[in-house]
Structure 1
Amino acid sequence: MKFTLSSTALSSRLSTLSRVINSKNSLPILECFLFEVENNQLTITASDSENVMKSILPLDTCDGDGNFCVSNRTILDSVKELPEQPLTFEIDLTNFTIKVVYQNGVYNFTAQKAEEFPRIQPITENATEIVIDSSVLNNNITRTLFATAQDELRPVMNGIYFDLTPDSLAIVASDGHKLVRNKNFSIKNDTPASFNLPKKPAMLLKGVLGKDGGDVTIKFDDKNAEIIYSEGILSCRLLAGRYPNYNSVIPQNNPNKMTIDRRSLIGALRRVLPFASESSQLIRFHVETGKLELSSEDIDFATSAKENLTCEYSGQPMSIGFKGPSLTEILNNLESDEVVVELADPSRAGVIVPVTQPENEDVLMLIMPMLLND
C-alpha cells in the first residue's frame, strides 16, 4: 500500500490528536495512532479508551486500502521537523514495515496490527441530536471551563452540563463557589434531555473547533456522546450521576444593581489583591450611589489596600466580601465592556451579567460571598 499527503497537514492533525493520548496507558496499543486508508482518504484515530478522536485527511495519491497502527512518538517527532512537502508512505502489511520518503531523506520504522486497537461504543438509536455553530460552542466551552470543579467526591461537578429544554440549551459549570450558565435560545427541544461532558473532551473540542463558524452535530445517549465537527469526530464517555438543580442557587430578586466598566474592575482587583490575606484572598466591596470602594487587608503582615472606582448603582449602600481570584476569573471570561453586578444582601450570591449579551444568548455568572468580619 502506498499513499502521499502534505507533511504540514499531517503534522498539525497528529499534534491535535496526540492530546487524547495519556502518558500512561492501560493498553500498550493506546500509545499508537490508528491509520485507516480507504477511498483516497486517511482517517487517523487516537484513544485513551474513554475518549476517541478521529481526523480525516484527503490524500494526494493513493494505491490500495489498509489499516495499521504506528507509535505516536515516532511519527509525531519525525514529521513535525519537516517543512511543507509531500510525504510518501509505503507500507508492507505483511511484514508491518513503514517507509516514509521525503525530499531529502527516508524514514523506516515498524507498524502494529490495527485489530488490537479498541473500537468505540456506537451511539444508541434513540440518541438525542443537536446542531450548534462551532464558534458558538467554542465560546461557550471557553466561557464555562474555568468554573468546573476538581472534586473526587462529587465527580458530577467536574464536567460541563448541557441541559436541553423546550426553551433553550443551557451550558452550565459550577464548582460550588462560582457558577456559569449560558442559555442559547436558538437551540431547543420539545423533549428535555441532558448530558455531562467531562473536562478532557471539552478541552479537546476547544482546541479543534473553528472560530469561523460551520455546524457541529452532537449526538448523545445515557452513556456516550459523539461530536461531529468539520475536521473529524470526537466520541467520549459521559459523566454519570444527577447534576444539581443549578437554577435553584441563582437568586431571583436582586434589588441592588451596580453597572461598572469590566476592565477597570479587573485592574483594581489586581492592585488590591496582593494586600489581602493569603489564606482567604478576601476583597471587601463597599458600594453606594456612584462609588465602589474595594479594600483588602492582611492583619498578620500589617498590609492593606483601598481603591475607589466610579460606577452606576441603584440600591441600598452595602458591604459584601468576595474571593478576589474567583471574581477576576469571572470577569476575564466575559466579553462585554461593562458588567452588571446584581446583589440581594451580603449573605447571598452575587450575579454578574454582561451589559451586551451575545446574539440569541443569555450569559450569567454567579459568585458566592465570603463572610465579612466587621
Structure 2
Amino acid sequence: MKLELGQKGFYQGINIVRKAVASNRTLPILSSILIKAESGRIKLIATDLEVGIESFVEGKVLEEGSVLLPANYLANIIKELPREKIKLELDSSKTKVSIKCRGSHFSINAGSPDDFPLLPEVKGALRLKVKQGKLKEMIDSVDFAVSQDQTKPFLAGGLLMVEDGEVRFIATDTYRLAYKYNVIEDKGVSAEAIIPRKSMNELSKLLADLEDEVEVAITQSQVLFEFSGIVVVSRLIEGQFPNYKHVIPNTSKTQVSLKKGELLKAVKRAALLARQDDNIIKLSFSPKELVITAKAPQVGKAYEKVKISLKGEEAQIAFNVNYLIDSLKVVAEQEVIIELSGPLAPGVVKTKKEDYISVIMPVRSA
C-alpha cells in the first residue's frame, strides 16, 4: 500500500473515526485504526464493537492495500506534522508503515487488517432521510434524560421512532422524560430502534447544523447513519421501551407561558442554594408571576420572581432543580409553556408548537 495525503484532511479523518476507538485494553486490536485503500479511495475505520465509524479521506492511491495502525500514535504523529503532503507506505513484509513529510520520517509497527472486525453491512434495512441539523437537534434535546441505570439496559439509550411522516427521539430515566420530533418526507415509513447513549453522543459530535441530509438505515439489530463522507454504524439495545404516550399528560389544570431565558437564569440562581437542600426548588404560580424559592439550612434562602401569563388554576410544585435546568437548556425557542395538574402530578415543559416536550416528576417538600 502506498498513499499520498494532505496533512489537514488526514488528521481530520483520523479524529472522526477515533471517536469509536475502544478505550479498554481487553481487545488491543480495537485501539487501532484500519486504513483501507481500494478503487482509488482511502477509507479510515474504527470500532469498539458497539459503534463503528468510517470516514473517507482525500488523497492519491499509488498502490492499493490495507493496514492497521495504533490510533493514538497515528493521531499524535499526524497532528504534529506540517500542513504538507504526507507519504504513507507499507513495507513488503506488511509489518511496518513508513510516514514521511518534509524532513520527518516515522516507521510504525503495523497490525494485520485480517483480524480487524469490519463494520457490518446493513442489508434489507428500512431507509429514510433526515436533515443533519434536525437530527443533531433531536439527539441533543433528549440526551440528558437517558438513564444511567445499568440494570435497565432498555432505558440506557434513546428511542428513535419513525411513524406517520415524523421521526421522533424519546429518552427517560423514569424520573423525567424528553421528547423531540421532526417532520420528514418519507410518509410511509415505520420503525423503532433504541440507540445506545454513546452512539447518540458520538453521532451528535459528527453532525453539523446543516440542511444536508443524513441517510438512516434501520434493521432489527443495527442502525446506520451516512452523511458527508462519514458512516456511523451502531448496535441497537434489545428490550421494550416504555410507552411514552402514557407518560405525557393529556390534560392540565394550570398552563403558564413565560420567557425561557428569564426562567432559566432565575432557576440557576436559586440552584446555588438548592444544592444544600437535596436540589429542591419550590415554584408558586399566581396569575401574573412565578415565585421560585430555595433554601440552604446553613446559609439562607433564595427568592426569585418571574413574570408569567397563567391560564387555569394557581399552583405550587417542587422539582429537582437540575432536572428543570436540563429541560430548559435544550429549548431553542424564546418562550416555554409549563403545564401542571397538581403538586404530586408530573409537570410538563414544552414549546408552543409542541415539537419538544419534557415531563418531570415532582418531589415532596417540607
3-state DSSP class of the match of 2:283? strand
Task: Provide Cα deviations, 1:83-126, integer angstroms capped at 9, x if missing partner.
Answer: 3211111222434221111122211122111101012333242x
Q: Secondary structure at the match of 2:9?
A: helix
- 8 Å Cα contact 1:25/1:48 also seen in 2: no
1:364 and 2:344 matched: no
**1:163 is matched with which residue?**
161
Cα distance change on mapping 1:83 and 1:211 into 2, 3 Å: farther
Question: Which of residues 321, 332, 340 in structure 1 aligns to 2:337?
Answer: 340
SS state at 1:123 partner? coil
Q: Give the drift of 1:224.
A: 1.0
State the shift of 1:290 in Å.
0.4
Indicate yes or no: 2:180 matched with 1:175: no
Amino acid at match of 2:285: V
Structure 1 match to 2:27: 27
CA separation in 1, counterparts of 2:246 and 2:186? 21
Asked whether the equivalents of residues 40 and 58 of structure 1 are also in contact (C-alpha less than 8 Å), the reply is: no
Q: What's the CA shift string for 1:220-274, capped at 9, x where partnerless?
A: 1111111111121111110100000011011111131111111111111122222
Partner of residue 90, structure 1:
89
Instruction: Tell me the residue number matched to 1:14.
Output: 14
Equivalent residue number for residue 101 of structure 2: 102
- 1:146/1:329 contact within 8 Å kept: yes
Which residue number corresponds to residue 136 of structure 2? 138
Report the counterpart of residue 192 of structure 2 in structure 1. 194
What is the letter of the counterpart of residue 295 of structure 1? T
Deviation at 1:26, TM superposition (A): 3.2
The AA in structure 2 aligned to 1:292 is L
- The one-letter amino acid of 2:303's match is K
* 2:316 is equivalent to residue 319 of structure 1: yes
Q: Distance in 2 between matches of 1:207 and 1:137?
A: 11
1:164, 1:188 within 8 Å by CA — same for their partners in 2?
A: no
User: What letter is aligned with 1:41?
Assistant: R
Runs of 5+ in structure 1 lacking a partner?
none
Cα deviation per residue 1:15-47 (whole Å; 9 max; x = unaligned)? 222121122143221111111001221100001
Identity across the alignment (%): 21
Segment of structure 1 superposing worse, 106-115 or 283-292: 106-115
CA distance in 1, matches of 2:153, 2:31: 26
Q: Is the 8 Å Cα contact of residues 223 and 238 (structure 1) preserved in structure 2?
A: yes
Give structure 2 stretches of 5+ with no counterpart: none
Q: CA RMSD in A?
A: 1.7
Which of residues 128, 135, 152 in structure 1 aligns to 2:150?
152
In 2: Cα distance, 1:93 partner to 1:118 partner? 23
For 1:68, the equivalent position in structure 2 comes to 67
Q: Secondary structure at the match of 2:118?
A: coil
Aligned length: 366
SS of corresponding position for 2:242: coil
Residue 191 of structure 1 deviates from its aligned partner by: 5.6
- Output the CA distance in 2 between the equivalents of 1:89 and 1:310: 63
Q: 1:16 to 1:120 in 2, by over 3 A?
A: closer
Q: Does the aligned pair in 2 maintain the 1:290–1:310 contact within 8 Å? A: yes
Q: Give the partner amino acid of 1:365.
A: S
- For 1:28 and 1:315, the matched residues in 2 are separated by 61
AA partner of residue 336 (structure 2) = V
Distance 1:236 1:182 in 2: 21
Structure 1 segments of 4+ aligned residues over 6 angstroms from their partners: none
Amino acid corresponding to residue 353 of structure 1 in structure 2: K
Query: Residue 305 of structure 2 aligns with which residue?
Result: 308
* 1:217 and 2:215 are equivalent in the alignment: yes
Corresponding position of 2:282 = 284
Residue 167 of structure 1 deviates from its aligned partner by 4.7
Checking the alignment, whether the CA contact within 8 Å between 2:143 and 2:171 is kept in structure 1 is: yes
- For residues 291 and 77 of structure 1, what CA distance do their matches in structure 2 show? 55
Cα distance in 1 for residues equivalent to 2:29 and 2:310:
61
2:138–2:168: 8 Å Cα contact kept in structure 1? no
Secondary structure of the 2:269 match is helix
**Alignment partner, residue 113 of structure 1:** 112
Shift of 1:143: 1.1
1:272 is matched with which residue? 270
Opposite residue 220 of structure 1, the aligned amino acid is I
Match of 2:4 in 1: 4
CA distance in 1, matches of 2:95, 2:72: 17
The amino acid of 1:39's aligned partner reads S
C-alpha contact (below 8 Å) 2:277/2:296 kept by paired residues? no
C-alpha distance 335-307 of structure 1, shift in aligned 2 (>3 A): same
Distance 2:200 2:319 in 1: 28
Counterpart secondary structure, 1:20: coil
* Cα offsets for 1:38-77 (capped at 9, x unmatched): 1221100001122211101121x32111011111122111
Between 1:270-279 and 1:318-327, the stretch displaced more is 270-279
